[in-house]
């Protein structure tokens, strides 16, 4: 429930802040999302109530709004970096922004390991099968609170730099139409004197092709299939990616990599699950992110995304078809390797490129909005995985299901379904254009629009070089 609520908040935040970033500017909205994240991280750890249900209700409230703030960071982070970077290294810069969450995953896992290990050694408790009530000591309440509140620290550390960062020149010049301010901002960033040179503007009342909106026929003609492609591939990717993450614990238990839940107390279960997830992140998730950073401007976005979906399809089927083989004790390391490779090619693949491409191929005035729509589509996929596959992955035997869950189709059949989802990701990737080595204006066709009415250029003082905006 807590994961599902957070996903819903993230989806709403991606849509709202994506739209707001195009209306108010990237920098201003970026600061708002940060404060929402800090306050709600602290609020999550301070959740209160007269009963366990009351605490859960408060926690869900704060996790929704935390997700809301995090959702806003998706379109704004990607858009800001795309508008600051040059076309030769833009892919690596945007991918690096996304890849930093890999270190965040590791940091979260390490914090969880340290806190749970300290409490596990300090407070002895019987296993769940010995004493279901006593297996959760009262001090366990502090474990999750400390871990959740720790998330506010890295967010706070970035506040100063976010506030000092100038608005992107592309937004200021192309959307806000303030070329003098754009020149001043670029002068600060590049540490050179830049002078705005604005050509004669066309009559505002005349027909201008750059005035089309998100729901116009012109947008549908130019970018409709692109938006379908970015939204659909992110949706399909997140079904597979988040659903597999959500029942990682069940997979580890099924193959014997962590003990059955009833053989542990609550705090020790947190420790063992955190250890398993941190190891997977270290072996597959983090390396995959940085492989994308290293190769995206050489191989291209399209190639990496297509390759990632293909390998994810192959490895999902390779895990599912001989699933009984992987359950044998002697084959557990092989299962771990295959699963890590699946996560590796998710991150050296569509999990990174679906974040990069929407920040490059749409016009500046709609860039943040379209990225938010694409990201929200992805979170809709995560919700399908969160609610659908938690039920689907349950054992077909009613006696072996988790408490409160009806029988499902089992882990093997769930993995087969996810393989099919990844295959459709291959198909919809064909709708997405390659953006490697092209300027944002060329990709969004804003260079054509400017030729029709009031292009803007900036000149580097004493050099004669121009900087198009």
Q: Give 64-78 pLDDT, tens digit per residue.
A: 999 999 999 999 999
pLDDT-above-70 percentage for the chain: 86
Q: Which two tokens stand for residue 392?
A: 């689907």
Mean pLDDT of 14-40: 94
DSSP 3-state of 195: strand
Q: Which two tokens stand for residue 276?
A: 């398993």
Answer whether residue 209 shows pLDDT above 60: no
Per DSSP, which regions of 111-219 are E strands? 194-198
- Return phi, psi of residue 289, to 5°: -55, -50
Least confident segment among 88-97, 156-165, 180-189, 224-233: 180-189
Residue pLDDT, tens place only, 330-383: 777 787 788 888 889 999 999 999 999 999 999 999 999 999 999 999 999 999
- In angstroms, the CA 67 to CA 65 distance is 5
Mean pLDDT of 284-297: 90
pLDDT band at 436 (very low <50, low <70, confident <90, very high): very high
Residue pLDDT, tens place only, 439-459: 988 888 776 655 554 445 555
pLDDT of residue 194: 62
- In angstroms, the CA 439 to CA 361 distance is 9
DSSP 3-state of 468: strand
Mean pLDDT of 99-123: 91
List domains and CATH numbers for the chain.
2-165+202-438 (1.20.1250.20)
| Rounded alpha-carbon distances, angstroms, from residue 147 to 35, 107, 124, 140 | 19, 10, 20, 12
Orientation of helix 140-150 relative to helix 26-45, angle to 10°: 170
Residue with the bigger pLDDT between 213 and 95: it is 95
Which position has the token pair 């708002």? 32
Which position has the token pair 């990496």? 304
Find out whether 65 and 35 touch, Cβ atoms under 8 Å. Answer: no
pLDDT of residue 310: 97
Answer whether residue 468 shows pLDDT above 70: no
Which position has the token pair 């066709």? 445
Q: How many residues make up the chain in this entry?
A: 469
Find out whether 377 and 231 touch, Cβ atoms under 8 Å. Answer: yes
* Three-class SS of 284-305: HHHHHHHHHHHHHHHHCHHHHH
pLDDT of residue 39: 95
Find out whether 214 and 367 touch, Cβ atoms under 8 Å. Answer: no
pLDDT of residue 313: 95
Residue with the bigger pLDDT between 211 and 307: it is 307
pLDDT of residue 447: 66
pLDDT of residue 133: 82
88-351-416-303 Cα dihedral, nearest 10 degrees? 0
- In angstroms, the CA 82 to CA 297 distance is 13
Rg (CA), the chain: 24
- Return phi, psi of residue 202, to 5°: -75, 160
Answer whether residue 160 shows pLDDT above 90: no
Average pLDDT of every residue of the chain: 85
Q: Which two tokens stand for residue 80?
A: 């800001």
Answer whether residue 307 shows pLDDT above 70: yes
Per DSSP, which regions of 155-271 are E strands? 194-198
Answer whether residue 291 shows pLDDT above 80: yes
Residue with the bigger pLDDT between 288 and 301: it is 301
pLDDT-above-90 percentage for the chain: 46
Answer whether residue 217 shows pLDDT above 60: yes
> Which of 206, 158, 152, 207 shows the shortest CA–CA distance to 41?
152
pLDDT of residue 206: 41
pLDDT of residue 239: 93
> Which of 137, 118, 116, 115 shows the shortest CA–CA distance to 127?
137
| Rounded alpha-carbon distances, angstroms, from residue 406 to 236, 253, 262, 395, 398 | 25, 18, 19, 9, 7
pLDDT of residue 188: 67
Answer whether residue 106 shows pLDDT above 50: yes
């Amino acid at each position: 429930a807590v994961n599902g609520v957070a996903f819903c908040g993230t989806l709403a935040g991606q849509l709202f802040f994506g739209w707001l970033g195009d209306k108010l500017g990237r920098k201003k909205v970026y600061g708002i999302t940060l404060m929402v994240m800090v306050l709600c991280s602290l609020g999550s750890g301070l959740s209160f109530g007269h009963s366990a249900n009351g605490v859960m209700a408060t926690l869900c409230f704060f996790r929704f709004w935390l997700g809301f703030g995090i959702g806003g960071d998706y379109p704004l982070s990607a858009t800001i970096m795309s508008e600051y970077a040059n076309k030769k290294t833009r892919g690596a810069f945007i991918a690096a922004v996304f890849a930093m969450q890999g270190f965040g995953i590791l940091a979260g896992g390490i914090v969880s390991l340290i806190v749970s290990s300290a409490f596990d050694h300090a407070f002895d408790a019987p296993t769940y099968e010995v004493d279901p009530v006593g297996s959760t000591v009262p001090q366990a309440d502090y474990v999750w609170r400390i871990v959740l509140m720790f998330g506010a620290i890295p967010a706070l550390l970035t506040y100063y730099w976010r506030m000092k960062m100038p608005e992107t020149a592309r937004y200021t010049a192309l959307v806000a139409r303030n070329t003098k301010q754009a020149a001043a901002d670029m002068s600060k960033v590049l540490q050179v004197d830049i002078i705005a040179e604005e050509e004669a503007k066309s009559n505002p009342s005349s027909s201008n092709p750059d005035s089309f909106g998100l729901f116009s026929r012109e947008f549908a003609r130019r970018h409709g299939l692109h938006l379908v492609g970015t939204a659909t591939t992110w949706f399909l990717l997140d079904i597979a990616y988040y659903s597999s993450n959500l029942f990682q614990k069940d997979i580890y238990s099924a193959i014997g990599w962590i003990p059955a839940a009833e053989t542990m107390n609550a705090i020790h279960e947190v420790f063992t699950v955190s250890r398993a997830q941190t190891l997977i992140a270290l072996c597959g998730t983090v390396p995959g992110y940085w492989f994308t950073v290293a190769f995206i401007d050489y191989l291209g976005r399209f190639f990496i995304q297509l390759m990632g979906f293909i390998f994810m399809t192959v490895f999902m089927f390779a895990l599912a078809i001989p699933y009984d083989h992987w359950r044998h004790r002697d084959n557990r390391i092989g299962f771990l390797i295959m699963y890590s490779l699946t996560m590796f090619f998710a991150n050296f693949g569509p999990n990174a490129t679906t974040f990069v491409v929407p920040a490059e191929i749409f016009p500046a005035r709609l860039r943040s909005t379209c990225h938010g729509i694409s990201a929200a589509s992805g979170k809709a996929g995560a919700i399908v995985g969160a609610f659908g596959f938690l039920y689907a992955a349950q054992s077909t035997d009613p006696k072996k299901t988790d408490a409160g869950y009806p029988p499902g189709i089992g882990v093997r059949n769930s993995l087969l379904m996810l393989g099919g989802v990844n295959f459709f990701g291959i198909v919809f990737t064909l709708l997405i254009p390659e953006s490697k080595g092209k300027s944002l204006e060329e990709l969004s066709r804003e260079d054509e629009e400017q030729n029709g009415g009031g292009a803007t250029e900036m000149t580097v003082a004493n050099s004669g070089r121009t900087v198009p905006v």
